[in-house]
Amino acid sequence: MAISGKVNTMDSQGQVQVKAFGKVLVFGGYAILEEGNIGLVVNVDKGTEVTVRDNPEGRFSAAIPQYDLHTSGSFEEGKLVLDQGDTRLSFLVNAVTYARQYLEAQHVPFRDVGIITRNDAELIGSKGKKTGLGSSASSTVAIVAAILKFHGVDDRDVVYKISCYSHHLTQDRFGSNYDVYAACYGSHFFTGSKMKLDEHFMRCISAGWNISRDSYTWPEELLPVLVFTGHVASTRHLVEKVLQYRKKHRKDYEALMSEYNGIDIKLREAFIGHDLDLIPGLLERSWEKRRELGERSGANIEPQSFTELMQEMKAHGALAAGLVGAGGGDSILALCRDKQEQDKLIAFAKRKRYLVLENLNVIDSGYVFLE
């Protein structure tokens, strides 16, 4: 089944480089569980770079030099099978597999290519631990975009669809794909929706998708500081706990989520208006409601040690501080009003021996092609 797209096989070249950016889920970490609830995700200027080039060896190859991973592979019944299996390559395998299936449906011959991927240090933290900035989504999007561009296809909506399908499948159909959307289109307010992807890949890609963007530009006056906790959170485990609570205590859950989303609605308006007087307090209230959800459900959304750390951060320059995304660990987002307070906070975190992701800025950009 072929679908219309921007296909020009004459655009292919010897090498294509793509960078897809990481993200920070500022608020609404559990809003995505319910349709209509809202949240805010912003991009950062660190992410994943992917290079695709012709492979003179005449077969597919992949390399992640940061992890000392170098392997080759072939396609069996349409799926990429690597000579060296490694769970760290699962997102790459599916991204390549479905990008290739799309090209075949467009009657574009798939060339023997070599892929090299590299994550910026801010995404992998210390000792290779993920910092919670969406490296799986940025990697998936960058790989799909680079492969398609290398074969003469430049269509951001198609990249998004393929990446959604691939990323969702790799995560055992878990997740909302707001991070994939951010990697494709940039910072935005998202609305919770049920992810229902057709089992048949090309039928799914060919279907009508309501791709709309409620974009957002971060206020320059609000200076972020991201601090890696050193603890990698399991979003799946936390969400499963919350869903169990929803099943057993539906009325209490719905009442709490209504209060939670009510705060987030006010937050959205404060962010749109760049109201720096309201944003910190509303963020704290949203994060407190998220912590309450964790306490009721038995999900360790905000471990006590991090609560205490964030209180200390607020005594050392932060207007507000909270765990990013679904919580549990990963990184803390703190907000400062000026450079002096930001420097004070960074110095405090370093004295506490935490990794500060200080070479990182909030941006509004989907993936880009590099020269």
Structure tokens at 162: 């393929």
pLDDT digits (tens, 9 = 90+) for 98-150: 999 999 999 999 999 999 999 999 998 766 778 889 999 999 999 999 999 99
Question: What is the structure's pLDDT at 35?
Answer: 87
CB-based contact 46:99 (threshold 8 Å): no
Range 257-264 average pLDDT: 96
CB-based contact 113:151 (threshold 8 Å): no
Q: Provide DSSP, 118-132.
A: EE-HHHH-GGG---S
pLDDT digits (tens, 9 = 90+) for 161-212: 999 999 998 987 777 788 999 999 999 999 877 666 777 899 889 888 878 7
Q: What is the pTM of this model?
A: 0.92
Average pLDDT, the chain: 91
Question: Alpha carbon of 53 to those of 11, 67, 149, 156: distances in Å?
Answer: 14, 20, 11, 20
Region of 317 please: left (phi>0), alpha (psi -120 to 50) or beta. left
CB-based contact 233:125 (threshold 8 Å): no
The segment(s) of the chain belonging to CATH 3.30.230.10 are 13-216+363-370
DSSP class of residue 354? P
Q: Provide DSSP, 222-275.
A: SEEEEEE-S----HHHHHHHHHHHHHH-HHHHHHHHHHHHHHHHHHHHHHHTT-
13 — pLDDT class (breaks 50, 70, 90): low
The segment(s) of the chain belonging to CATH 3.30.70.890 are 223-359
Structure tokens at 231: 């603890």
Identify the CA nearest to 335 among candidates 321, 346, 325.
Answer: 321
The domain over range 13-216+363-370 is classified in CATH as 3.30.230.10: yes
pLDDT digits (tens, 9 = 90+) for 298-330: 999 999 999 999 999 999 999 999 999 999 999
Task: Tell me which CATH homologous superfamily contains domain 223-359.
Answer: GHMP kinase, C-terminal domain (3.30.70.890)
Which residues are CB-neighbours of 278 under 8 A, at least 6 positions away? 266, 270
pLDDT digits (tens, 9 = 90+) for 162-171: 999 999 989 8
Question: What is the structure's pLDDT at 248?
Answer: 97
